[in-house]
């Protein structure tokens, strides 16, 4: 039988949350530092730029593995890292191109990363939702950040839809800004590129963002 918790026990629990900058906190609140986050959006909206900026911010406080299934070690990936201002000396930010099984082996090693980005879930060919949930349960201290392609305003594919449904933090990227749709600070916004956002949405540019 599954364990039950009293209200007093829940209120007394100390939860470990992500420690990040004020701009990120204003947009996405203080989510737990484990579990699943889900990001989705259509091509041409600076989704990759946002994903790398997010990974960069998280790598300030913990080791992160960026599983670049879509771009790998291509020039486009290097350019994206440069655009996002990722420092070459950042040893907490590791990039690879591994199968889902290989990634699981990496996360099981001593001093393994405690944050993992999958870019994108559609490139995990043949992956079943059950296998994904088993991976998450096997690594309860790891934060999984899932990037997904979109069809219209919906994630592309059944597994992406299921992961989004269960995710704690859901982030929709459109018009050069990221919008919180999840359980933390719904409606919060993060500007990826102020000038592009202003042109897309017809607003004044937000100059507070990091435009490297």
Note the pLDDT tens digit of each residue in 180-197. 997 888 889 999 999 999
pLDDT band at 212 (very low <50, low <70, confident <90, very high): very low
The structural domain count of the chain equals 1
Q: List alpha helices for the chain, DSSP H.
A: 7-12, 22-28, 47-58, 75-83, 100-107, 129-138, 158-166, 194-201
pLDDT at 196: 93
Q: Is 196 helix (H, G, I), strand (E, B) or coil?
A: helix
Residue 19 within a domain: no
pLDDT at 205: 64
Mean pLDDT of 47-70: 95
Containing structural domain, residue 56: 24-201
Q: Looking at the DSSP assignment, which residues form a beta bridge with residue 189?
A: 179
Mean pLDDT of 32-47: 95
Residue 18 within a domain: no
Residue 10 within a domain: no
pLDDT band at 24 (very low <50, low <70, confident <90, very high): very high
Residue 90 within a domain: yes
Residue 109 within a domain: yes
Comparing CA positions, the residue from 138, 79, 82 lying closest to residue 105 is 138
pLDDT band at 211 (very low <50, low <70, confident <90, very high): very low
Residue 138 within a domain: yes
Mean pLDDT of 159-169: 96
Comparing CA positions, the residue from 45, 2, 19 lying closest to residue 174 is 45
pTM for this entry: 0.91
Q: CATH number of the domain that 146 lies in?
A: 3.40.50.300
Q: Looking at the DSSP assignment, which residues form a beta bridge with residue 28?
A: none
Residue 38 within a domain: yes
Mean pLDDT of 71-94: 91
Residue 27 has pLDDT above 50, yes or no: yes
Cβ neighbours for 44, distance < 8 A, ≥ 6 positions apart: none
């Amino acid at each position: 039988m599954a364990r039950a918790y009293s209200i007093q026990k829940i209120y007394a629990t100390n939860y470990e949350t992500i420690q990040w900058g004020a701009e990120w906190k204003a947009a996405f609140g203080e989510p737990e530092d484990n579990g699943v986050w889900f990001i989705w959006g259509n091509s041409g909206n600076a989704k990759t730029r946002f994903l790398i900026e997010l990974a960069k911010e998280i790598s300030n406080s913990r080791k992160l593995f960026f599983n670049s299934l879509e771009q790998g070690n291509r020039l486009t990936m290097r350019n994206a890292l440069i655009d996002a201002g990722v420092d070459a000396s950042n040893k907490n930010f590791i990039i690879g191109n591994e199968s889902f099984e290989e990634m699981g082996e990496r996360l099981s090693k001593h001093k393994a990363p405690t944050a993992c980005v999958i870019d994108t879930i559609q490139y995990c060919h043949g992956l079943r939702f059950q296998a994904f949930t088993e991976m998450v349960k096997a690594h309860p201290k790891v934060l999984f950040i899932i990037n997904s392609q979109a069809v219209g305003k919906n994630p592309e594919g059944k597994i992406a839809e299921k992961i989004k449904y269960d995710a704690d933090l859901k982030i929709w990227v459109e018009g050069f800004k990221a919008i919180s749709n999840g359980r933390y600070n719904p409606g919060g916004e993060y500007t990826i590129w102020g000038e592009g956002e202003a042109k897309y949405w017809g607003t004044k540019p937000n100059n507070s963002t990091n435009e490297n």
